Amino acid sequence: MPQQVQDLEEKWGVFWCKNCEIPILAETCPLCNKKAKHISGDRRPVSPTERHMLEHLLQQPLPTFLFARHNIFYFGEGALLRLTLKDGRLGVAQDWLHKLNDISPDVFTEQYRLTQWNRCLSANANTIANLEQEAINFVEKAAGSYPDRARFVSFSGGKDSALVAVLVNKALGPTPLLFSDTTIEYPSTYAYITKFTEYLGVKVFWQKPQQPFLALCEVLDPPSRIMRWCCTVCKSQPINTFYNTLDCQVLNFDGIRRSESSRRAQYPRVYQVPKYAREVTARPILNWPTFAVWAYIQANGLPSNALYDLGFSRVGCMYCPSNDGYNEYLTRLYFPDSYSKWNQYLLDWAVREGKPDPENYVKCGYWKARNVRRGKIYVVERTESCVTKREYSYEFSRPLTEDVVEFLRPFGKIRMFAINGKTCFTVGNQNPFLISGIIGDTEISISFAVQGKDEELIKRRVERQIEKYLNCVGCGGCLGVCPVGAISITQRRFAINDGKCTRCGKCTTRTYIERGCVAIGYRGSQRAIKRIGDKE
Ligand code: SF4
Ligand code: SF4
Ligand code: SF4
Ligand SMILES: [Zn+2]
């Protein structure tokens, strides 16, 4: 590993050379050889467009070579101002603008910005080249470790995935991109994807969820920062549906970086993500600071999403509950129609939910912070046979439809047969257990031949599948759990391909996605089985 890359990993962050007045990725400035000061946290550059917007807000000119981290803006190594968003209005929480009183008027000119950027790029050129080489070596090694897998780059329309696409294409030649269109992307992101793929000369596989985001909000409620069903349903599911059309496994490169969040700081560089059973994920720029990404983009003249010019620090979904106040403010400023549409949706929803002050609830963003899972509606009752204690019956409040069989396929071979004009089904053998029922009737039973330690586990899994059947909204969130791609959704109906299913049981656990099913995890009111001892 090149020494500078190692240094970066050991001493995380960005440094400031006071002498040259530039950020650098090394402790000693390569231009003047002076020791630089470690500045806490990472930095992103502030574009002229964003700076003009801030100048307008503050009614005061700002230096042109500006950086930001979250809602704090920096000139040099020190902070200049901290923004806040209160009741939907952008304000200044704290300012240190008096520091600007005695500085040279030159720093307010465009020439100063250009000079400093050029100086900055030349000071960091070696480190960036080393980081690039290390990432390329990593990509080649990952590809060598998984030679039989189809290779893709996850592309979100953001700077990190664009950089990874460039690096992977340098390392491996043309490698297609995978874009999961959540249906609530910013218009600039759509435009950028076309521009970037033309620039790179690669194909993009453009995937969409089974149902648009807003339609899913109707059944699952708007997502919150804690209840983020949309990542599974609108992002992962389209990709998993695509993977299921391939006849091989996948090696996917993504642009996740440790400096993005404390959770991501723990991520490994090569990983099997549970909700993508057919994919191994490799992360070439996991250790890159934000500043290094921007320095690379500037130095190589890569096109970037126009959202960054406007001041967005994060290019994600327009209605994301994780958007901070500043991103939300910018959305309202630059995309007023889309913003109003979502705001109105949230207001109507808050009214339907009976919130005491819906307007305030939405304006203050309380919908983003909620973690309420509503109660259960018991629509199935479980009874136990008194004689053997190893037979259980499930009495449904509605007649069973054929869909129930699909959810029971993981437990064994299905037999369907007619008796008195009714379609009966059994799953598995008498030994170790047999599930049986009649389509159109209201009962399913399960009987165990031998009492063993697995009995409880099997019963729990059967019950989970029954609850999935009761709650399924056809979101496809569980598609990626299956390692052989046996699960599919057609017109919102869940199905398991019997020829493909190996009965591994993975999809019947609650391990790989929230409670084993997005609808069970997040659906407003959950339809459930009432067991003895359950309260109403
Ligand atoms: S980025 Fe936000 S809105 Fe988009 S899918 Fe993820 S959590 Fe949902
Ligand atoms: S079983 Fe659950 S996760 Fe799977 S499609 Fe139905 S609702 Fe979605
Ligand atoms: S996860 Fe396993 S049990 Fe479930 S459908 Fe796939 S192969 Fe079958
Ligand atoms: Zn210097």
In ligand 3, which atom is closest to the CA atom of 508? 4
Cα of first residue to Cα of last residue in the chain, in angstroms, is: 61
Q: Residue 242 above 50 pLDDT?
A: yes
Average pLDDT over residues 81-92: 85
Nearest CA to ligand 2 atom 8: 475
pLDDT of 494 > 70? The answer is yes
Q: Which two tokens stand for residue 72?
A: 């704090």
**Statement: residue 533 has pLDDT above 70:** no
Q: 334 to each of 63, 240, 310, how far by Cα in Å? A: 24, 33, 8
Tokens of 204: 């993009």
Delimit the domains of the chain by residue range. 3-119, 132-319, 335-372, 376-530
Q: Choose the CATH number for 132-319 among 3.40.50.1820, 3.40.50.620, 3.40.1080.10, 3.30.1490.190.
A: 3.40.50.620
- 3-class DSSP state for residue 15? strand
Closest-CA residue to 186 (of 307, 304, 70, 342): 307
Q: 414: Cβ below 6 Å to ligand 3?
A: no
pLDDT at 341 over 70: yes
Categorize the per-residue pLDDT at 384 as very low, low, confident or very high, splitting at 50, 70 and 90.
Answer: confident
pLDDT score, position 10: 46
Residue 251 has pLDDT above 90, yes or no: yes
Could you tell me the strand order of the sheet in which 89-95 lies? 44-45, 66-69, 72-75, 78-86, 89-95
pLDDT band at 259 (very low <50, low <70, confident <90, very high): confident
Task: Output the CA 511–ligand 3 centroid distance in Å.
Answer: 14
For residue 69, the surrounding DSSP H or E stretch is: strand 66-69
- Average pLDDT (224-240) is 94
Higher per-residue pLDDT: 375 or 193? 193
In the predicted model, what is the mean pLDDT of residues 352-360? 93
pLDDT at 233: 95
Does residue 325 surpass a pLDDT of 70? yes
Residues touching ligand 2 (Cβ under 6 Å) are 468, 472-478, 489, 494, 517-519
Categorize the per-residue pLDDT at 386 as very low, low, confident or very high, splitting at 50, 70 and 90.
low
Residues 224-243 have a mean pLDDT of 94
- Which residue's CA is the closest to the ligand 1 atom numbered 3? 320
pLDDT at 6: 45
Residue 51 has pLDDT above 70, yes or no: yes
Rounded mean pLDDT of the chain? 92
Residue 505 CA, ligand 3 centroid: distance in Å: 6
| Of 19-23, 224-228, 485-489, 530-534, minimum mean pLDDT range | 530-534
- Averaged over 367-396, what is the pLDDT? 83
Residues 224 and 359 sit within 8 Å (Cβ to Cβ): no
pLDDT, residue 515, reads 84
The SS3 call for residue 345 is helix
**Closest-CA residue to 171 (of 141, 201, 200):** 141
Query: Which of 494, 496, 513, 515 to mutate to test ligand 2, by most ligand atoms within 8 A of the CB atom?
Result: 494
279-294 average pLDDT score: 95
pLDDT of residue 12 exceeding 80, the answer is no
Is there an atom of ligand 3 within 6 Å of 504 CB? yes
Is it the case that residue 198 has pLDDT exceeding 50?
yes
Rounded to an integer, what distance in angstroms lies between the CA atom of residue 239 and that of residue 179? 8
CA atoms of 170 and 164, how far apart (whole Å): 10
